[in-house]
Structure 1
Amino acid sequence: MLMKRWIWGCGLSVALLVAGCETKPANTDSGTGPGAGTGTAPEASPAATPGATDVALSGEITVDGSSTVAPITSLIAEEFGDKHAGVRVPVGISGTSGGFKQFVRGELDICDASRPISESEMETLKKNNIEWLELQVAIDGLTVCINPKNDWCQAMTIAQLKKLWAPDSTVKKWNEIDPSWPDREIKLFGADTDSGTFEYFTEAVVGKKNSSRPDYQQNTEDNVLVQGVAQDEAALGYFGYTYYVTNQDKVQGLPISNTENPADAVAPELESIRSGKYAPLSRPLFIYVSKKSLERPAVAEFLRFYLSDEGQKLVAEAKAVQMSGDQLKAAREKLEESLKK
C-alpha cells in the first residue's frame, strides 16, 4: 500500500489533492451518547464494495469538518483517488461545527463530524431545503493526556476532570485536585469551541455542552495540542485517540474512572473504546452527506468505498477504532437504501 500523506497546516484547512489513476437525529442507527460504539471489529468479507460499479468517475468531492475524522477521510480519499484518477477530494479541518456551518449552506458534499448533528443545524438544513444522510464510520475515545515525565498522576475521575474544567473552576495547581500531588501550575490544552471534540468533552465531563473554563490553550489543530502537552511536564490536555496513539512517544494517555474511585479507571485502548468500557469518553464518528450530492456517481462510489472492507481497513491504519460488524452492516444498508431513492 502506498505511504499515506497527511498534510496539516496550522490555522489552515487541509487540502488533500488526489491524483493518479439534540434531540439526536432519527436516522441514527447506532448510539450517539457517551459510551456508544460496542461490539467487535468486523472480519473482511469478499464483497469489498457493496453495489459498486465500473463507471468512469470524475469531478471534485468537497469535504470539511472534524479534525478527528479527517485522518480517516484523508487516507480513504487518497486510496480512492488511486483507483479513480478523475476524482479530486480536498479534505478540510475547520472543526465539526465549522464544517456544519458550511454544510447547512450547501457548500459541502460531505461534513466530517465527531458529534451528532444538532437540532438547530437540522432546522437550518430544512429551511435551506437540503436533505442529508448520517453515516457512522468509526469510533473514537476522547483521550486525556499528560506529559510522560508526570510521575504523580496515575489516573483521574470524571469528577476530578469536572472540577478542573468547569466554567467556574478556580483550580490552578495539581495539589488543588489531589493534596498528594505537587504544588505545580497545570497548563491546560484542549479543543477550540468550533470543535465537536469540545462539545462532546464538555457534555460528557462537565455535564453541559459548550460549558468550559476559558483560560486554556485551545486550537483546531490536534497536533498543536499534542506538542503543548509534550513540551510541559505539568501539562494536561485532551484530543482524539488517533492523535494520542500516534504520539505515544510524546504524551501519556490517562486512565479515567467513571466512579468516585480512581482505582476503577479504564485506560484508553482499542478494546475499551470499542466496547464502551472507556466511558463516558467513547463516542461514534460520523460523516454527513448531502442527498443531492449523493446523486453524483463519484460521491456514491466514494461512500461505498468508505464503508467497504478495504476502506474500513484504512480506519485501522489511521489508528482510529473500527465499528462492530453490526454497526458496519447498518451503515451499509442505510447508504444503499438512500441510493435507491
Structure 2
Amino acid sequence: MKKLSVALAAALFVAACGGATASPSGPALTGDISIDGSSTVYPIAEAVAEEFQNANSGVQVTVAFSGTGGGFKKFCAGEMDANNASRPIKTSDKPGDDGVAGTADDVLSEATICKNAGIEYIELKVALDALAVVVSKENTFVACLTTDELKAIWDLDSKVETWADVRAEWPAEKIDLYGPGADSGTFDYFTEVINGEAKRSRSDYTASEDDNTLVTGISGSQYALGYFGLAYVTENADKIRAVEIDGGSGCTAPSADAANDGSYAPLGRPLFVYASVAALARPEVAAFFRFFLENTNELAAEVGYIGLNDADLAAAKATLEAALK
C-alpha cells in the first residue's frame, strides 16, 4: 500500500476513535465482517479492509473472491455480510423447462432468491472499471481489436482458431484463450456487451475466477488473449499489455478518462458492493462501509481503478445513511 494521504490518514484517525458510529469515548469496535464476490472488486475491498483494520484492531475483515455470481449465492443464503459485484444483481426470473413464467420450475434471479430468504440489501456503487482485453508483452502484432472481431473470437460456436482467422495478415498461430469463469460478473458483462447475451460464449478456453491465474497464462504465451479488470493490467504491466478497442468510434485504450467520458464503450462499467441491511445494524459493519465510501476514490485509484464523480459518490453515501437510520 502506498503512503497514506493526509485525508485518508485523518479518516483513519476518525475510524480509530469510533467516530464513524459513536463518540470518541465509546467502546472500541470488535467483530468479524465477511465479504465475497467479484475478483475485479476484490483489490478495492481488500485495500479498504487493510486500512480499516489498521485503525480497528478488534475487527477482522475477510475478503474472498468466488466471482460475482458465486458470491451472490453465499450472500443470498445469509452466509456473507456483503458481496462485491462487477455487474448489478440479476432481477429477472426466467421460465423453466415448461416455458411458462410464474410457475414452480422458474429459474429464480439473485434478487428473488435473496427476497425469498429474507435478505434485504443495499446497492453501493464504489468505483468504475475499464474491462481490458489483454495480450502478452511478446505479442507485437495486435494493437487494436474491434468489437466485431471480439465477438467473432469469443461467441458461442466461434470458428476462429488462429490469429489469421481474425485478420489474414496476422500469424496463423492458435489463439490461447483465457477468461473468467461462468460465476464471474466480468464474464456476464463481457459476454452481454460483446456477444449480445450474458453467458453466451465459447467454452474452449482456460477459465479461472482468479485474475492472477489468467495473468500468468497470458504472459506465458505470445499468442494468448484474455480479458479482465484494468487493475490487473496496471499491476502486471511488465508481463502483459491491454490492446485498444474500437467500439465504432475508433481505437481507444482503457483508461480512467476513457471510462468516465464514455469513449471506451462498451467495456467501461461501474463496480458495486451489496451490503446486507441486517449486517449494517452491527456497529463494526456500519463503520466499515462509512469508511469504505469516505476513502473509495483514493484507494480505488491506488489499486488501478477509477473513482466516482461527486454525484455518484453522494448518492452512494445517501443510500448507506438511509439504511443506517
TM-score band, normalised by shorter chain: 0.7 to 0.9
Q: Kindly indicate whether the alpha-carbon contact (under 8 Å) linking 2:188 and 2:198 is maintained by their aligned counterparts in 1.
A: yes
Q: Which residue in the other structure is 2:321 paired with? A: 336
Following TM superposition, by how much is the alpha carbon of 1:333 offset from its aligned partner in structure 2, in angstroms?
1.1
Q: Kindly indicate whether the alpha-carbon contact (under 8 Å) linking 2:126 and 2:296 is maintained by their aligned counterparts in 1.
A: no
| Structure 1 residues 311 and 203: CA distance shift in structure 2, 3 A | closer
Work out the CA distance in 2 between the residues paired with 1:45 and 1:113: 24
Among 20, 38, 52, the alignment partner of 1:52 is: 20
Q: Does 1:151 find its partner at 2:123?
A: no
Q: Which residue in the other structure is 2:45 paired with? A: 73
* Deviation by residue 1:82-129 (Cα, 9 ceiling, x = unmatched): 111110001111111110000011111010111100010111111111
Q: Which residue in the other structure is 2:279 paired with? A: 293
Following TM superposition, by how much is the alpha carbon of 1:47 offset from its aligned partner in structure 2, in angstroms?
9.3
- The DSSP-based 3-state class of the residue aligned with 2:63 is coil
Work out the CA distance in 1 between the residues paired with 2:8 and 2:220: 44
Following TM superposition, by how much is the alpha carbon of 1:315 offset from its aligned partner in structure 2, in angstroms?
1.4
Following TM superposition, by how much is the alpha carbon of 1:3 offset from its aligned partner in structure 2, in angstroms?
7.8
- The DSSP-based 3-state class of the residue aligned with 1:89 is strand
Unaligned runs of 5+ in 1: 5-43
Following TM superposition, by how much is the alpha carbon of 1:277 offset from its aligned partner in structure 2, in angstroms?
1.5
Which residue identity is paired with 2:210? E
CA RMSD of aligned residues (A): 2.0
Among 206, 214, 218, the alignment partner of 2:195 is: 206
| Structure 1 residues 88 and 156: CA distance shift in structure 2, 3 A | same
Q: Which residue in the other structure is 2:96 paired with? A: none
* Deviation by residue 1:59-99 (Cα, 9 ceiling, x = unmatched): 00011111111111111111101111110001111111110
Following TM superposition, by how much is the alpha carbon of 1:52 offset from its aligned partner in structure 2, in angstroms?
2.0
Among 251, 254, 257, the alignment partner of 1:271 is: 257
Q: Which residue in the other structure is 1:23 paired with? A: none
Among 181, 184, 190, the alignment partner of 1:192 is: 181
Which residue identity is paired with 2:44? I
Give structure 1 regions of 4+ aligned residues with deviation exceeding 3 angstroms.
1-4, 44-51
Q: Residues 146-295 of structure 1: matches in 2 within 5 Å?
A: 146-259=135-248, 264-295=250-281
Q: Residues 13-28 of structure 1: matches in 2 within 5 Å?
A: none
- The DSSP-based 3-state class of the residue aligned with 1:268 is coil
Q: Which residue in the other structure is 2:79 paired with? A: 107
- The DSSP-based 3-state class of the residue aligned with 1:63 is strand
- Of 157-166 and 51-60, more deviation after overlay is shown by 51-60
Give 1 or 2 for the bigger CA radius of gyration: 2
The TM-score, its normalising length taken from structure 1, stands at 0.83
Q: Kindly indicate whether the alpha-carbon contact (under 8 Å) linking 1:274 and 1:322 is maintained by their aligned counterparts in 2.
A: no
The TM-score, its normalising length taken from structure 2, stands at 0.87
Among 12, 36, 52, the alignment partner of 1:64 is: 36
Q: How many residues are aligned here?
A: 297
Work out the CA distance in 2 between the residues paired with 1:243 and 1:2: 17
Q: Give the share of equivalent positions with the same residue, in percent.
A: 44
